[in-house]
Amino acid sequence: MAWVYLSIAAAAFQTLRFVLQKRLSMGTLSAGGATFARFVYSAPFVAALAILALGGAPVPELASGFWAYALTGGGAQIGATWCVVALFARRNFAVGITLKKTEVVQTALVGLLVLGDRVSAPAAAAIVLGLFGVLALSDLPSLTAGRIRRIFNPSAGLGLLSGALFAVSAVCYRGATLAVDNDDALLRALLTLAAVTLSQTVAMSAWLAWREPGQLARVARAWRGAIWIGLAGLAGSLCWFTAFTLQNAALVFAVGQVEVIFSLLASVLIFRERVTPREAGGIALLTGSILVLVWLG
């Protein structure tokens, strides 16, 4: 049951990180800068922890697929985090996180399309229920817009894309941790996390220097707030990665849906945002869908 507690802790730390990222992205940093802060301020700490965990011993042997899994997962996580931070500027905090959590529903759909994994009738009904929840959350509040524009809008696209990318990253991270030849789950998680975080920091540094001149300097100046993003991200990722070494990524993410509740509390208590009845209904439908899938799993 350790993976269950790790999943809950990971969801709590991830909610805290998104709260901090939202604050930094509201005027201080761009979406890219807030995303980069999560990686650059985690990298030194995770590298130090990995070195301490090794205790002078050589790095365990890595299977041939390790770097492919790690780099693919790292790239997907960058894109997913960017989408979520950009989404915060469009919709309130709880709705943004809930749309991101369609990653569980999307994992079931991708499994059917790519791997041919069939789902039972109750599971299919749960997926449809989740779809209704997503549509309720993606509907724009404007009453004058046409129906198509109200349902298919940038907010819905960002939320769904972030969920898909997070699903890809989770599966790849599990593959990477399993490619480390060691029986210690924590060590496997730390080594994978160190490789991923350092590569993400290098990649995003190059991107921001090319596409957003001046943003790297802003991230450096915002270190007093950004360092907490890095620490929260480190704690959350370490919990996720360790859970991935112990259990199927889909089940880990399923338990992590408790993040919806955490984000709703943050939305109301920290940002003083109001969740409309329609949005509350969408959250309830999507959460119900996820709970049914967890029960069936």
pLDDT digit string, tens, across residues 3-42 = 888 988 998 998 888 778 777 766 677 878 878 988 999 9
Both structure tokens of 264: 């709703």
Per-residue pLDDT of 102-113, as tens digits, reads 777 776 676 666
Q: Please tell me the predicted confidence (pLDDT) of residue 59.
A: 92
Q: Please tell me the predicted confidence (pLDDT) of residue 131.
A: 67
Mean pLDDT throughout 115-122? 62
What does 167-222 look like in DSSP terms, one character per residue? HHHHHHHHHHHHTB--S-HHHHHHHHHHHHHHHHHHHHHHHHHHHSTTHHHHHHHT
Q: Is the pLDDT of residue 254 over 90?
A: no
Round to whole Å and give the CA distance between 128 and 109. Answer: 11
Q: Is the pLDDT of residue 96 over 70?
A: no
Round to whole Å and give the CA distance between 287 and 107. Answer: 15
What does 59-100 look like in DSSP terms, one character per residue? PPPB-TTHHHHHHHHHHHHHHHHHHHHHHHTTS-HHHHHHHH
Per-residue pLDDT of 49-62, as tens digits, reads 999 999 888 999 99
Q: Please tell me the predicted confidence (pLDDT) of residue 115.
A: 42
Q: Please tell me the predicted confidence (pLDDT) of residue 251.
A: 74
Tell which residue, 172, 95, 177, has the closest CA to residue 136: 95
Per-residue pLDDT of 191-246, as tens digits, reads 999 999 999 999 999 999 999 988 999 999 988 888 998 899 899 999 999 998 88
The pTM of the whole model exceeds 0.85? no
Confidence of residue 75 (pLDDT cuts 50, 70, 90): very high
Sketch the domain layout of the chain as residue ranges: 2-57+73-296
Q: Please tell me the predicted confidence (pLDDT) of residue 62.
A: 95
Per-residue pLDDT of 162-179, as tens digits, reads 989 988 888 888 889 889
Round to whole Å and give the CA distance between 259 and 253. Answer: 10
Mean pLDDT throughout 271-297? 72
Q: Is the pLDDT of residue 143 over 50?
A: no
Helix (H) or strand (E) holding 2: helix 2-25
